[in-house]
A and B are shown apart, each in its own frame.
Chain A
Amino acid sequence: MRFAVIVFPGSNCDVDMFHAIKDELGEEVEYVWHDSENLDSFDGILLPGGFSYGDYLRSGAIARFSNVMKQVVKAAEAGKPVLGICNGFQILLESGLLPGAMRRNESLQFICQTVQLKVENKNTMFTSQYNQDEVIRIPIAHGEGNYYCDADTLKCLTDNNQIVFTYDNNPNGSVANIAGITNERGNVLGMMPHPERAVDELLGSADGLKLFQSIVKNWREAHVVNA
């Protein structure tokens, strides 16, 4: 499977993501600059964390208008897996690929720690290798991870099983303890925690690896004969 790690000016988790895919997962991966006009040759799109365009105006607001985002929308519409982590999640919200918006953490503090997440929905292409309700340990590092949506949107997310990860001890004030959601179709996942930083016990947790393994397994089953 061939992954693209989209690099915006200000991305800073792109190398972690690349390492997770290449060295821990053993799949093909390439960095793709934000002005790229074509993502057709990639099977999966990864939007890494960081501070795209300095987070000026709002997190993700400027990145959303970069050239490559037209291609990311096209890939999402084609049903390819699109994963946005942290700033990547904020970009997916700003671009409308996922519903809702991010506010500053309730505490107003930047939070950097490993948290416990519950797998709320294991029936997605991103979580099939986890058990339903499994509790996993994944690091977070953000100042604006306080997910917000209105009551109607929350009802839709709940009814369609789009809430994929929730926090055990809500660190940032997110509505309904939300840590990660998918789009309705289930091929776009945005999450604030960093699974790419939890792919080896040396890093304190390897619980993030199953997320990437899920993507690959589901892709192989759909695209490779005798997978």
Chain B
Amino acid sequence: MFKVKVYVTLRESVLDPQGTAVKSSLHSMNYNEVADVRIGKYMELTIEKTERDIEEVVNELCTRLLANPVIEDYRYEIEESVVQ
């Protein structure tokens, strides 16, 4: 089995209104050192072993559904776990 952690964020060129709102809230709490906040999504997938390359599968899932490439970027981490 693979444990896959997928992070989806708005692309740098796309304004993130949620992040901007949270940043101004942090500033109003006097955390003025916070220069920027970007809000994204975190997903955990459990994927069974297949004959296909796991990276290929994950990239396909991300580009087809989990992220919208028009406005979002994604990255992922893959952990292999041994099931008894």
Q: Do A and B come from one complex?
A: yes
Using a CB–CB cutoff of 8 Å, the interface residues on chain A facing chain B are 57-58, 61-62, 65, 93-94, 99-101, 103-108, 146, 148-150, 173
> Are the CB atoms of B70 and A101 closer together than 8 Å?
yes
> Are the CB atoms of A105 and B17 closer together than 8 Å?
yes
> Are the CB atoms of A103 and B17 closer together than 8 Å?
yes
Given A100-B70, A149-B70; A108-B21 close (CB under 8 Å): yes
A residues in contact with B71, CB < 8 Å: 101, 103, 148
> Are the CB atoms of B68 and A58 closer together than 8 Å?
yes
Q: Is the interface of A mostly helix, strand, loop or mixed?
A: loop
Contact flags B17-48 to A (C-beta < 8 A → 1, else 0): 11001000000000000000000010000000
> Are the CB atoms of A148 and B17 closer together than 8 Å?
no
> Are the CB atoms of A101 and B17 closer together than 8 Å?
no
Given A58-B68, A61-B68, A101-B71; A148-B18 close (CB under 8 Å): no
B residues in contact with A173, CB < 8 Å: 15, 17
Among all A-B residue pairs, the 7 with the closest Cβ atoms: A101-B70, A101-B71, A101-B68, A106-B17, A108-B17, A104-B17, A108-B21
Is the CB of B54 closer than 8 A to any CB of chain A? Answer: no
- Can you identify 15 A-B contacts, CB atoms within 8 angstroms? A57-B66, A58-B68, A61-B65, A65-B65, A100-B70, A101-B70, A103-B10, A103-B17, A103-B71, A106-B15, A108-B17, A108-B21, A148-B14, A148-B71, A173-B17
Query: What CA separation (Å) do A100 and B14 show in the bound complex?
Result: 12
User: What 17 additional pairs, Cβ within 8 angstroms, besides A61-B68, A99-B70?
Assistant: A57-B66, A61-B65, A62-B65, A93-B70, A101-B68, A103-B15, A103-B17, A103-B71, A106-B15, A107-B17, A108-B18, A108-B21, A146-B17, A148-B70, A148-B71, A149-B70, A173-B15
Closest to A146 in B: B17
Query: What CA separation (Å) do A107 and B65 show in the bound complex?
Result: 26
Closest to B69 in A: A101
**Which of the listed residues B41, B66, B68 has the most CB atoms from chain A within 10 Å of its own CB?**
B68
Query: What CA separation (Å) do A134 and B39 show in the bound complex?
Result: 39
Contact flags B36-64 to A (C-beta < 8 A → 1, else 0): 00000100000000000000000000000
B residues in contact with A57, CB < 8 Å: 41, 65-66
A residues in contact with B15, CB < 8 Å: 103, 106, 173
**Which of the listed residues A94, A99, A103 has the most CB atoms from chain B within 10 Å of its own CB?**
A103
A residues in contact with B70, CB < 8 Å: 93, 99-101, 148-150
Query: What CA separation (Å) do A55 and B68 show in the bound complex?
Result: 14
Q: Within the complex, what minimum Cβ distance (angstroms) separates A111 from chain B?
A: 13
A residues in contact with B13, CB < 8 Å: 150
Q: Within the complex, what minimum Cβ distance (angstroms) separates A91 from chain B?
A: 12
Closest to A106 in B: B17
B residues in contact with A100, CB < 8 Å: 70
Closest to A149 in B: B70
Q: Within the complex, what minimum Cβ distance (angstroms) separates B71 from chain A?
A: 5
Closest to A104 in B: B17
